[in-house]
C-alpha cells in the first residue's frame, strides 16, 4: 500500500477516492467513462454507500497511478473498523440520560467511548443527579473524576 494512504486507514476508500478526484479537478462522470464504468456506481462508491470491488479498484488505481492494492487494503481496514465498532458498541442506560442534553446530535449516534470527555463534561454541566450517577456507573469513578479534574484545571488556567 502506498505510504500516502496510511493515514486513511479506517476511512471508506470511496471517500478517499472522492478527495483525490477533487484535488485533481476530475469530474466523476468523466472519470467513470475513462475507466469504462457506470457513473452511478462510481458516485455511490465516492459517497460511501457502496463498497469497491477488485476489478474496479484495479482500474482506478491504474488510471490514477496509485500502487496496486491500495484501495482494496483501505476497504479491508474500513470493514474491520466498522465491524469492531459494532461489536464494542456499549452505551449507558439511555432511559436515564435525557436526549435533550445532547440537543446538537442524535443520542443514538454518539461514540460513547471515543467522545467520553465531551459526554462527561456536558452531563456534569447540565445533567441531573441520576444522569451523573449513570455516567459514573458506565465509565467508572476514576475515569469520570480524571475528566472533571482536568476540566476544572482548564477553567482555572483560562
What gap in Å lies between CA 158 and CA 154, rounded to an integer? 6
Integer Cα distance of 60 and 63 in angstroms: 5
Distance CA 152, CA 141 (A): 16
Domains of the chain, each with CATH number or no CATH: 3-87 (1.10.260.40), 99-150 (no CATH)
Which grid coordinates are listed for 130?
A: 441520576
Q: What one-character-per-residue DSSP string does 66-109 give?
A: --TTHHHHHHHHHHHHHHHHHHT-----TTTS-GGGGTTS-GGG
For 101-134, write each residue's pLDDT tens digit. Answer: 999 988 888 888 888 999 999 999 999 999 999 9
And the C-alpha cell for 115?
467522545
pLDDT digit string, tens, across residues 85-109? 665 568 898 899 999 999 998 888 8
CA 15 to CA 122: how far, in whole Å?
31
Digit-coded pLDDT (tens) for 45-79: 999 999 999 999 999 999 999 999 999 999 999 99
Amino acid at each position: 500500500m502506498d505510504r500516502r494512504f496510511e493515514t486513511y486507514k479506517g476511512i471508506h476508500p470511496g471517500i478517499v477516492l472522492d478527495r483525490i478526484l477533487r484535488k485533481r479537478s476530475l469530474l466523476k462522470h468523466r472519470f467513470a467513462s475513462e475507466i469504462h464504468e457506470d457513473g452511478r456506481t462510481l458516485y455511490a462508491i465516492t459517497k460511501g454507500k457502496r463498497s469497491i470491488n477488485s476489478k474496479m479498484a484495479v482500474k482506478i488505481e491504474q488510471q490514477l497511478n496509485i500502487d496496486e492494492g491500495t484501495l482494496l487494503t483501505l476497504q479491508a481496514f474500513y470493514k474491520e473498523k466498522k465491524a469492531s465498532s459494532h461489536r464494542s458498541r456499549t452505551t449507558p442506560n439511555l432511559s436515564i440520560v435525557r436526549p435533550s442534553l445532547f440537543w446538537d446530535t442524535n443520542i443514538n449516534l454518539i461514540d460513547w467511548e471515543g467522545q467520553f470527555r465531551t459526554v462527561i463534561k456536558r452531563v456534569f454541566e447540565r445533567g441531573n443527579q441520576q444522569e451523573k450517577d449513570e455516567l459514573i456507573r458506565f465509565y467508572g469513578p476514576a475515569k469520570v473524576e480524571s475528566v472533571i479534574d482536568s476540566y476544572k484545571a482548564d477553567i482555572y488556567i483560562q
